[in-house]
Homo-oligomer: A and B are copies of this chain.
Amino acid sequence: MAAPKQFLDYVDANTDAFIHRLSEAVAIPSISGDAKRREDVMKMGRWLEAELNKFGVKTEQIPLGKQHTEGQVLDLPPAIVGRIGDDPKKKTILIYGHFDVQPAEVSDGWNTEPFQLVVDEKSGRMFGRGSTDDKGPIMGWLNVLEAHHKLGLSLPVNLRFCFEGMEESGSEGLDEFIASEVKKENSRFKGIDAVCISDNYWLNDRTPALTYGLRGLTYFNVIVSGPGADLHSGSFGGSVHEPMTALIALLGKLVTQDGRILIPGVYDGISTADESELELYQKLDFSVADLEAAVGGKIAVSDDKPTVIMARMRNPSLSIHGIEGAFSGVGAKTVIPATVGGKFSIRLVPPQKPDDIRAKVEKYLEAEFAKLNTKCKLKVEYLHGGIPWVADHRHWNYEAAKRATESVYLKSPDFTREGGSIPVTLSFAEHLGVNVLLLPMGRGNDGAHSTNEKLDKSNYIQGTKLLGSYLYEVGEITKA
């Protein structure tokens, strides 16, 4: 155990104060997606900065420019950048977190006031918007800083911080800041040896996880048009080629019911899992029943555990999200929609590249559309893309996190890959060129972005120990 007993005892002794810290943070409704709440996001940034300063962190507010939204021009919330420690003999770790949250209203189905942390003592669950995503983990770092400051302990590593207030709204401005900052001679990110991001979740609600991969994405809108305006199906049904008929036929050619993508070349270069990789998935603390409990339906693509886990983490997938421009309300409207856009996306894994996949998708859609022999017109829009990411999980950054997990939780972490994307991970990996670790605090059932978002008290308190222990393990491993 690398972390000093003093530190661990301090965490246990200050549980109530740490929960109070989280409740102060949750009480600020820092919703980045709501222009009316922008001032609350700013306030949350100032609150965070003040806390960092209390514990000896030097901070700066980095302006990220303007945002055009809802017909207004708003200041983007500045990034809060901080530093503590400059010992050349120590490693330097960059910590990322976001202090903005998703919208939440009681009327969405919350059992409690979302912007008030409510602790259910029986279950140990602490409910509130941002409790797990991502205020809990940020408070974890503050708790670590407080403990060291109050105990007069010096930190085992130099720390750099980059906190943003726009993560839930596309991290507007952040990638540009990181990209330009790293090029400066006296870059604020100079000398960083590794990055640690605590903004995702365990695979389940039992076993801590370290996450070393994220899938990428390509998102398409397949637009089919025909008449000049919506038509009445009574007057025109049968006499014209209908865009919906063509779109449905086209969308039907994308993927099989069990998830096999039908676009030629889309699997090119993706390796087949060998025995040792399959074994890795077999060992994860996750079952097909866990998946079906999480999704609330007996709809797993397979009864085989590694197959299901790979489908989720290490294989590409294609989902059809919906149709824009067609009738989508309740009731029975007899419309022939004039222009319809089918939205679908493909999750990518290495070595898939968005541009290459985009070209293959476009070529395939055009060829299949031509075969339909419809007089309607096709236009394929590429809405956005992001590359997949996989980190070296044998790096000391992961080894430190693994040892910290084992010392705090007394069990080995699951090494997981996430099916979704956390774009800032890629920004740091790409621009800083260092290892990035995803070190989750919360559980898979926390309900980030959902109603009744929660963080378990034990995850918060043990998680605070985990974050601190991780820093000590980094110091220890890299001392040699």
Chain A residues in the interface with B (C-beta under 8 A) = 215, 217, 219, 221, 225-229, 231-242, 244-246, 248-249, 251-252, 255-259, 291, 294-301, 308-309, 311-312, 315-324, 326-338, 343, 345, 347, 372-376, 383-384, 418-421, 449
Contact = CB atoms under 8 A, between A and B. Distances in A.
A73 to B, nearest CB: 20
Contacts of A321: 233, 244, 326-327, 333-337
Contact of A248 (B227, B248, B296, B324): B248
B420 A301 contact: no
Given A227-B296, A252-B248, A322-B328, A301 B238 contact: yes
B332 A226 contact: no
Contacts of A343: 327, 332-333
Contact of A257 (B217, B246, B259, B309): B246
Contact of A295 (B227, B319, B324): B227
A332 B320 contact: no
In the A-B complex, the 4 residue pairs with the smallest Cβ-Cβ separation, listed nearest first, are A228-B296, A234-B420, A238-B317, A322-B327
**Max chain B CB contacts within 10 Å: which of A298, A311, A343?**
A343
Contacts of A237: 317-319, 345, 347, 419
A219 B332 contact: yes
Contacts of A336: 319, 321
B334 A328 contact: no
A215 B233 CA distance: 11
A241 B301 contact: yes
A312 B237 CA distance: 6
21 contacts: A221-B332, A226-B295, A227-B299, A232-B420, A233-B319, A236-B294, A237-B318, A237-B419, A238-B301, A238-B311, A238-B312, A238-B347, A240-B300, A245-B320, A299-B375, A321-B336, A321-B337, A322-B327, A323-B328, A327-B343, A328-B328
A79 to B, nearest CB: 24
Contacts of A419: 233-239
A251 B219 CA distance: 23
Nearest to A374: B257
Contact of A315 (B236, B238, B324, B338): B238
Contacts of A383: 331-332
Nearest to A372: B257
A421 B227 CA distance: 22
Contacts of A291: 236, 239-240
A125 B334 CA distance: 28
Given A219-B334, A238-B315, 14 more contacts: A228-B296, A233-B319, A234-B347, A234-B421, A236-B312, A237-B347, A238-B311, A241-B257, A244-B321, A248-B251, A321-B327, A321-B333, A321-B335, A322-B323
B298 A375 contact: yes
A416 to B, nearest CB: 11
A294 B241 CA distance: 14
A319 B242 contact: yes
